[in-house]
Amino acid sequence: MITQKNIVLPSMPRGYHLITRYITSELENLPERGLLHIFMQHTSAGLTLNENADPSVRVDFESFLNQMIPENHPSYTHIMEGSDDMPAHLKSSLIGNDITIPITNGKLNLGTWQGIYLCEFRNYGASRRLVLTIYA
C-alpha cells in the first residue's frame, strides 16, 4: 500500500534547520514496517540526514559549503535572481532533494543522533513544499 501527503514548511532563513518534528507531526498511523520517502519540490534547497544534537554541525555545514561553492564566482552566468541563487542550485544538486527513511514498529527508524535537515541555501528562503510518500 502506498499513501502520499503534501506539506508546506514555513519560510526559514538561510542555514540548516532540523525539521524532524515538522515531518513526524504530519505522519499519522505509520505502518509497522515500510519506508518513508521525502521529496522536496525545489531546486535551491536540500534535504539530508545528519547530527541532531550539536548545532555546531549545522554551522560547519554552512561554512564548508560556502567555501566550496562561493557566491559571486566569476564563472556563473545565472545571476539574475541574486548572488545566492546559482550557488543554491549547485548546493541543492550536491546535497540532494530527497531522503528515504525506514519505518520500524510504527516509527521512523532514525539513528540515535540523526535528524532530518532542511538545507536552505537562499538568503531569504520561501516556504518549501514536500511530498511525503509511505510505502507499506
Distance separating alpha carbons of residues 123 and 73, to the nearest angstrom? 16
Q: Which residues contact 25 (CB under 8 A, 6 or more apart)?
A: none
Distance separating alpha carbons of residues 84 and 44, to the nearest angstrom? 9
Mean pLDDT of 21-45: 97
Per the CB < 8 A criterion, the answer to whether 133 and 4 are in contact is: yes
Q: Which residue has the higher pLDDT, 125 or 26?
A: 26
Could you tell me the pTM of the whole model? 0.96
CA 136 to chain centre: 23
- Greatest extent of the chain over all pairs of C-alpha atoms, in Å: 52
CATH number at residue 109: 2.60.120.460
Q: Which domain holds residue 28?
A: 2-135
To the nearest whole percent, how much of the chain has pLDDT over 70?
100
pLDDT digits (tens, 9 = 90+) for 1-16: 999 999 999 999 999 9
The total of structural domains in the chain comes to 1
